[in-house]
Chains A and B, each alone.
Chain A
Amino acid sequence: MTYRVWGRAALAFGAAAMLGTASATAGGTLVIGMTAGDLPVTTGNPDQGFEGYRFVGYNLYDSLVLWDLSGAGDKAAEIRPGLATGWQIDEADNKRWIFTLRQGVKWHDGCPFTADDVIWNFGYTSDEKAPQFNPAQFGQARAYFGTYAGVEKIDDYRVAFTTKVPDALFPYMMSYVLMVSPCRAKEVKYDWTAYAAKPSGTGPYKFDKAVAHQRMEFVPNADYWDKARVPQHDRLVLVPMPEASTRTAALLSGLVNWIEAPSPDAIERLKSSGMKVVTRVYPHNWSYQLNFVKGPFTDKRVRQAANYALNREDIKDLLNGLMLEEYATVPPSTAYYGKPLLYKYDPDKARSLLKEAGCLPCKVTFAISTSGSGQMQPLPMNELVKSQMDAAGFEVKLDAMDWNALLQVGRGGVDASPDIHAINISRASQDPFNALIRHVWTGAWAPKGANWGHHGNPAMDKLIDGILGEFDSAKRLALLTRLHEMMNEEAALIFVAHDLNPRAMSPKVQGFVQAQSWFQDLTPVKVVP
């Protein structure tokens, strides 16, 4: 065979390959490479963390309360009406929330959405005795039911929730509880495996098909109640790709046209190939929760020293700029950021604080993970944190474990791992409870809640009671701001990084505006040929 023939063969081979690739993305198909190791479940509240909510949860389903994901303005996303058009506290009872439901909404199976469906859904996620009870959904949703006591129907389009204690933040929690169709559940006789293959919600997309573990395809719901959010593309395909290098290669080779979280060292390569890389700060918190029961961090000076010891700009360089230096629990664009005391890099001050506290060298053990949802680049980042803290007088021991094991340490609380002085589990700070309260409230001491290190402080508890009982949003905002500032005064965490939520996409993907949120609105996206 001559060189010419070989050349032709190679050309034909290449053309065939490219044709195959092009046909997979023609006609406005948005193909997304997710970081998840598997397809999120489709039975309501998804697994795979907030990525599951982002791509499956809020696309197939709605909650009573949704998030404003328009990306407009310079503030973090806030809640807005969803399947409920409004909510208010009962004037006669501050433990009773009345939600008014949206009329004229239809499930994907054609049944109308009414108050009975809401009642049914709370049986699905929280009533062990209900025939529709689903233990997996109970597990997923329960974290948002901290103060939930019950729900009752007032009429076809109004329901009343009762809470165990006054809870002004209850509507935020309702944003995480997705509503599934009772009609479809009854049709499949409560067989959740069958339901998963034929899910029905009220969301902007309808389920089309899935190949287990490999891909899931949605099509637009042309009858979506919010006409402004009927998807602009013809098809949405979700592909799990846990390996960052695989995602990058898949985007560059045209197999997908959108990838989540490209690794920092791939950014330049992606940009030089004409890909768009979008970043925006969002409510993410890469920090260390501290042990307030035993060990050096029970001393405020040691906590402050740890915060002074960190040169966050160096950490940012390590990530090729893909983070925002974190000096407080929430990013500055959060409404309740206030004017917190900032611990800027000052290793001398850190050392003198340690000396004052009588802890030099100060030996501490951090439990960290090798990977995990929202953990960014946990190993190099922790190594750098260790070297910076060691230089300022600490002796940090990193106890690395896999993500599952670290979550178990986190859930067990400080009593189950008294010799660990800090845990590095990055947290979503999407709503005020999850952003602030759960870290410092005695009512959230693990294993009951997410206050791993049992931080407790009567003044803060009083402030939190005030927040939960304050139904005037302006007044509540002032209290939340004060709580946020107090967390810094206390050095309640070691603050390190806010992720910038990088995602890369083909130039053919147009119309996407990244919201300051863990969730994103894909509906305006168009994929041009």
Chain B
Amino acid sequence: MGGYILRRMLYAIPIAFGVSVVCFSLVYLAPGDPLQTVLPPDATAETIEIVKRAYGFDKPLPVQFLIWLGRVLTGDFGMSIATKRPVFLEVTGALANTGTLALFAVPIAFSIGYAMGALAGSFPGRWIDRVVTGTAVFGVSLPNYWLGIVLVIVFAVEWMVLPATGMGPSGSDEFRILRWSDAKFLVLPVVTLSMIPIGILSRTTRAAVAEVRNQDFVQTLRAKGLSEWAVTRHVLKNSLPQVMAVMGLQFGYLLGGSILVETVFTWPGSGFLLSKAIINRDVPVLQGTILTLSMVFVATNLIVDLLQSLVDPRIRRG
């Protein structure tokens, strides 16, 4: 097991390198200028050259990349062009804010999605299955930025029971989850964010459960005279590895932050940070955020793989 974990962690290094090369290249292939935020719209060529030199953007791209990579390896992600704040602080702060959302969205989405899927899969073709599948399709198809806006209109504007936007009345620095005046800011973004994972998970769980129920061993269990509850437990356990793989992806998605949801709710998380960095071509922030998020995905996948092998020893043997 130790060797397996080590091997998987070593795999993460080329993935991280590959991601950093790709994201670096993409940023420069896209039209636009990384110094836009510090230049007025009609900056002259001479001004642009001087500012480029001051920020080190005058060097050839491979050199810029190597300089950046060298810094990252020592833990220095550089400074944001737009805010002049260390990228490390920007990214960790945003990740923590997205983590606050995920802290609620993950258990809500996973428990509701799994319960709905398990229920539907256990009664395939019955009315409950149709209701759950219909709800799941609705959840997946609903654009979450639209849902966010509608929830805001209903709960914040019309009924005035929940705040429309932001992270607490005084911003994330003073945000306390256990204080209702702050926590109420979480409700609408968490609900919006959970909707798609609920849909995806319930559909995946339903398919997995229905598939396992058709396998021969379930027939055997029944033939042995096990109660329906005991059979269901076996079915659920056997469908778990498949569901966990999807949960892992969804966990990464929730932790990575949703650009659309965070923009609608002005939630200062990693998705919001990323969207601002893209608009401003704030290259250091963009690289730092993408690299960190890709590492989150790699780590999540690793943890999911390990959990799967715990739940289903066949995976480890394979």
A residues apposed to B, CB below 8 Å: 10, 13-14, 16-18, 20-21, 23-24, 37-39, 41, 43, 47, 49, 128, 135-136, 138-140, 142-143, 192-193, 196, 211-215, 239-243, 245-246, 249-250, 252-255, 401-405, 407-411, 425, 438, 446-450
Question: Which B64-92 residues have a C-beta within 8 angstroms of A?
Answer: 79, 81-86, 90
Identify 7 residue pairs between A and B in the complex whose beta-carbon atoms are under 8 Å apart, listed by A's number.
A37-B279, A38-B82, A38-B83, A139-B40, A196-B84, A407-B36, A447-B44
Shortest B163–chain A CB gap in Å is 6
* Contact between A38 and B276, CB atoms less than 8 A apart: yes
Chain B's closest residue to A196 (CB) is B84
The residues of B that contact A450 with a CB separation of less than 8 Å are: 41-42
Q: Give the residue of B161, B163, B268 whose beta carbon is less than 8 angstroms from that of A213.
A: B268
Given A136-B38, A404-B36, A405-B31; A249-B165 close (CB under 8 Å): yes
The residues of A that contact B208 with a CB separation of less than 8 Å are: none
Given A212-B83, A212-B93; A17-B265 close (CB under 8 Å): no
* Contact between A407 and B272, CB atoms less than 8 A apart: no
Q: How far is the CA of A76 from the CA of B248 in the complex (A)?
A: 59
Q: How far is the CA of A225 from the CA of B45 in the complex (A)?
A: 39
The residues of B that contact A243 with a CB separation of less than 8 Å are: 263-264, 266
Q: How far is the CA of A403 from the CA of B169 in the complex (A)?
A: 31
Q: How far is the CA of A41 from the CA of B54 in the complex (A)?
A: 18
Chain A's closest residue to B181 (CB) is A20
Q: Give the residue of A17, A47, A241 whose beta carbon is less than 8 angstroms from that of B37.
A: A47
Q: Give the residue of B47, B82, B180 whose beta carbon is less than 8 angstroms from that of A138.
A: B47
* Contact between A411 and B48, CB atoms less than 8 A apart: yes
The residues of B that contact A245 with a CB separation of less than 8 Å are: 149, 152, 264
Given A41-B83, A246-B264; A213-B180 close (CB under 8 Å): no
Q: Give the residue of A41, A253, A410, A438 whose beta carbon is less than 8 angstroms from that of B84.
A: A41
Q: How far is the CA of A450 from the CA of B39 in the complex (A)?
A: 13
B residues apposed to A, CB below 8 Å: 30-33, 35-48, 50-51, 54-55, 79, 81-86, 90, 93, 149, 152-153, 156-157, 159-167, 169-174, 180-181, 184, 263-266, 268, 272-273, 276, 279-281
The residues of B that contact A23 with a CB separation of less than 8 Å are: 169
Chain A's closest residue to B53 (CB) is A135
The residues of A that contact B163 with a CB separation of less than 8 Å are: 17, 20-21, 253, 255
Q: How far is the CA of A219 from the CA of B172 in the complex (A)?
A: 21
Q: How far is the CA of A215 from the CA of B166 in the complex (A)?
A: 10
Chain A's closest residue to B167 (CB) is A214
Chain A's closest residue to B282 (CB) is A38
The residues of A that contact B160 with a CB separation of less than 8 Å are: 14, 17-18, 21, 253-254
Q: How far is the CA of A23 from the CA of B179 in the complex (A)?
A: 15
Q: Give the residue of B43, B85, B166 whose beta carbon is less than 8 angstroms from that of A212.
A: B85
* Contact between A253 and B36, CB atoms less than 8 A apart: no
| Additional 10 contacts, C-beta under 8 A, given A17-B160, A245-B149, A255-B164 | A24-B169, A136-B81, A142-B47, A196-B84, A214-B167, A214-B268, A241-B266, A252-B157, A410-B41, A438-B42
* Contact between A213 and B50, CB atoms less than 8 A apart: no
Chain B's closest residue to A143 (CB) is B40
* Contact between B273 and A448, CB atoms less than 8 A apart: no
Q: Sort A-B residue pairs by CB-CB distance and give the 8 closest, nearest first.
A: A211-B171, A135-B54, A450-B42, A447-B45, A404-B32, A405-B31, A253-B156, A249-B164
Q: Give the residue of B44, B79, B159 whose beta carbon is less than 8 angstroms from that of A142.
A: B44
Interface centre among B51, B163, B268, B276 (most CB of A within 10 A): B163
The residues of B that contact A405 with a CB separation of less than 8 Å are: 30-32
Shortest B241–chain A CB gap in Å is 40
Shortest A4–chain B CB gap in Å is 18
The residues of A that contact B152 with a CB separation of less than 8 Å are: 245-246, 249, 253
The residues of A that contact B55 with a CB separation of less than 8 Å are: 135
* Contact between A20 and B184, CB atoms less than 8 A apart: yes
Chain B's closest residue to A408 (CB) is B33
Q: How far is the CA of A213 from the CA of B262 in the complex (A)?
A: 13
Chain A's closest residue to B169 (CB) is A24
* Contact between B166 and A239, CB atoms less than 8 A apart: yes
Q: Give the residue of A192, A214, A250, A448 whose beta carbon is less than 8 angstroms from that of B172.
A: A214
Given A14-B161, A246-B266; A139-B276 close (CB under 8 Å): no
The residues of B that contact A401 with a CB separation of less than 8 Å are: 31
The residues of A that contact B180 with a CB separation of less than 8 Å are: 16
* Contact between B166 and A255, CB atoms less than 8 A apart: yes
Chain B's closest residue to A407 (CB) is B41
* Contact between B279 and A215, CB atoms less than 8 A apart: no
Shortest A467–chain B CB gap in Å is 19
The residues of A that contact B181 with a CB separation of less than 8 Å are: 16, 20
The residues of A that contact B280 with a CB separation of less than 8 Å are: 37-38, 404
* Contact between B44 and A449, CB atoms less than 8 A apart: yes
Q: How far is the CA of A398 from the CA of B82 in the complex (A)?
A: 30
Q: How far is the CA of A216 from the CA of B38 in the complex (A)?
A: 20
* Contact between A14 and B39, CB atoms less than 8 A apart: no
The residues of A that contact B263 with a CB separation of less than 8 Å are: 242-243, 246
* Contact between B33 and A407, CB atoms less than 8 A apart: yes
The residues of A that contact B172 with a CB separation of less than 8 Å are: 211, 214
* Contact between A135 and B37, CB atoms less than 8 A apart: no
The residues of B that contact A193 with a CB separation of less than 8 Å are: 79, 84-86
* Contact between A138 and B51, CB atoms less than 8 A apart: yes
* Contact between B156 and A249, CB atoms less than 8 A apart: yes
Shortest B32–chain A CB gap in Å is 4
Q: How far is the CA of A245 from the CA of B272 in the complex (A)?
A: 16
Given A249-B153, A404-B281; A139-B33 close (CB under 8 Å): no
The residues of A that contact B264 with a CB separation of less than 8 Å are: 243, 245-246
* Contact between B32 and A408, CB atoms less than 8 A apart: yes
Shortest B244–chain A CB gap in Å is 35
Q: How far is the CA of A66 from the CA of B267 in the complex (A)?
A: 36
Given A135-B54, A212-B85, A249-B152; A402-B38 close (CB under 8 Å): no
* Contact between B38 and A47, CB atoms less than 8 A apart: yes
Given A140-B39, A193-B84; A241-B165 close (CB under 8 Å): yes
Q: How far is the CA of A231 from the CA of B235 in the complex (A)?
A: 69
Interface centre among A21, A196, A215 (most CB of B within 10 A): A215
Q: How far is the CA of A425 from the CA of B279 in the complex (A)?
A: 16
Q: Give the residue of B37, B157, B272 whose beta carbon is less than 8 angstroms from that of A249.
A: B157
Q: How far is the CA of A212 from the CA of B82 in the complex (A)?
A: 12
Q: How far is the CA of A227 from the CA of B17 in the complex (A)?
A: 59
* Contact between B40 and A142, CB atoms less than 8 A apart: yes
* Contact between B173 and A211, CB atoms less than 8 A apart: yes
Interface centre among B33, B37, B174 (most CB of A within 10 A): B37
